[in-house]
Amino acid sequence: MANALNSCEFFVPTSRTGDGQYLFGTQKITVKVMDGKLVVKSGGSFMLINEFLNFNAQQEMIETMVSNSPDAKPHKNTMTVSSLGRSSPKRASFSGT
């Protein structure tokens, strides 16, 4: 899991909340190994972790920044993605999956 997060272009705070359960920014996700590959439950099926990150990391980074903002409002943000880059040089460090 840490390797996939560290290779992602965008920094999204991620923490383990239980066995195979993580908080990915503001989103709760389920992660497991299927056929030797790390997958994330997405909708009613599973997708490879790298595909999940490609589809979700940038938007989740924005959501996390907005929700952590001191002047955050309960409505959706209208920031343009082009004005954002990697929010932090921090890297994930997990033990286990």
CA–CA separation, 58 and 52 (whole Å): 11
pLDDT of residue 71: 65
Q: What is the mean pLDDT of residues 81-97?
A: 43
Q: What whole-number percentage of the chain has pLDDT above 70?
A: 72
Q: Write phi, then psi, for 60 (nearest 5 degrees).
A: -70, -35
**Domain definitions of the chain by residue range:** 2-64
Q: pTM of whole model > 0.85? A: no
Amino acid at 65: M
Instruction: Tell me if residue 21 falls in helix, strand or coil.
Output: strand
CB of 61 closer than 8 Å to CB of 25: yes
CATH number of 2-64: 3.30.920.20
- Quote the distance between the C-alpha of residue 6 and its chain's center: 11
pLDDT of residue 24: 92
